[in-house]
Amino acid sequence: MGLGMGRARGSLAAACLRILLAAFCLVALICGGDGTSGAPYVTMRPHERVSSQPDSEALPQPLSDALNGPVEVPGGYGMSLTAHVGEHHVHASWTYVDGAPGLNTHVDSWLLGLLDAAAPAGNRYRPAMALNALQPGGQEMTVSAEPVQAAGTVIVVREKVKSSGTNGTGSVRSATVYVDTVSGELRSGAELLRPESVPGIQSRITGVPADIAAPSQQGPPVTDLLLSPSGELTVTAELPGRPGRQASMTMNARDTGAALSDYGRQVLGQLNAPAVPRPATAPALRHVNCDLVPCAALTYDDGPDARTTPQLLAILAERKAQATFFMTGSNTAANPSIAKQVADAGFAIGNHTFSHPYLTKLSIPAVKKEIERTDAAILSATGSTPTMMRPPYGAADAAVQGGVGKPLIIWAVDSLDWQSKNPAAFVPKVLKEITPGAVVLMHDVQPTTISGQQELISTLQGQGYQLVSVPQLFEGTPLTPGHVYRSRPARP
Ligand code: NI
Distance 332 CA to ligand 1 centre (A): 13
- The answer to whether residue 28 is domain-embedded is no
Query: Residue 469's pLDDT band (boundaries 50, 70, 90)?
Result: very high
Is 434 found in the same domain as 311? yes
Quote the pLDDT of residue 277.
Answer: 83
State whether 260 and 291 are in the same domain: no
* Ligand 1 centroid from CA 344, angstroms: 23
Ligand 1 center to 164 CA (angstroms) = 51
CA distance 434 to 484: 19
Q: Looking at residue 168, what is its pLDDT? A: 61
- Pair (244, 146) in one structural domain: yes
- pLDDT, averaged across the chain: 84
Percent pLDDT > 70 in the chain is 81
Q: How confident is the model at residue 296 (pLDDT cuts 50, 70, 90)?
A: very high
Q: How many residues does the chain have?
A: 492
Residue 246: per-residue pLDDT = 80
Domain boundary among 228, 247, 271: 271
CATH number of the structural domain spanning residue 231: 3.30.565.40
The set of catalytic residues is 301, 443
Report pLDDT digits (tens) over 179-191: 999 888 999 999 9
**What are the percentages of helix, strand and coil residues in the chain, rounded to 5?**
35, 25, 40
The verdict on residue 457 lying in a domain is yes
Cα atoms found within 13 Å of the Cα of residue 101, Cβ hemisphere only: 9
Apex CA 303: angle with CA 299 and CA 308, to 5°?
Answer: 95
**Domain containing residue 42:** 36-271
Distances (CA, A) of 380 to 286, 326, 329, 343, 392: 24, 16, 11, 12, 22
Q: Is residue 25 in a domain?
A: no
* Domain termination residue (choose one: 244, 271, 298): 271
SS3 for 4? Answer: coil
Alpha helices by DSSP H, listed for 228-345, are 253-259, 262-271, 308-318, 329-334, 336-344
4 occurs within a structural domain: no
Contact between residue 148 and residue 70 where contact means Cβ atoms under 8 Å apart: yes
Whichever domain contains 427, its CATH number is 3.20.20.370
Same-domain check for residues 239 and 362: no
208 with 345, same domain: the answer is: no
Residues 168 and 265 in one domain: yes
Among candidate residues 271, 296, 326, the one where a domain is terminated: 271
What residues does the ion ligand 1 have nearby, CB within 5 Å? 301-302, 392
Inform me whether the pLDDT recorded for 286 exceeds 50: yes
Asked if residue 260 and residue 187 are part of one domain, the reply reads yes
CB 176 within 8 A of CB 71: no
- Looking at mean pLDDT, say which of 61-65, 210-214, 354-358 comes out highest: 354-358
Domain identity same for 342 and 446: yes
Report the distance separating Cα 347 and Cα 341, nearest Å.
Answer: 9
Ligand 1 mean position, distance from CA 467 (Å): 21
The rounded distance, in Å, linking the Cα atoms of 211 and 228 is 34
127 to each of 55, 89, 112, 380, 464, how far by Cα in Å? 43, 14, 10, 39, 10
Distance 484 CA to ligand 1 centre (A): 16
CA distance 250 to 256: 9
Ligand 1 centroid to Cα of residue 327, in Å, is: 8
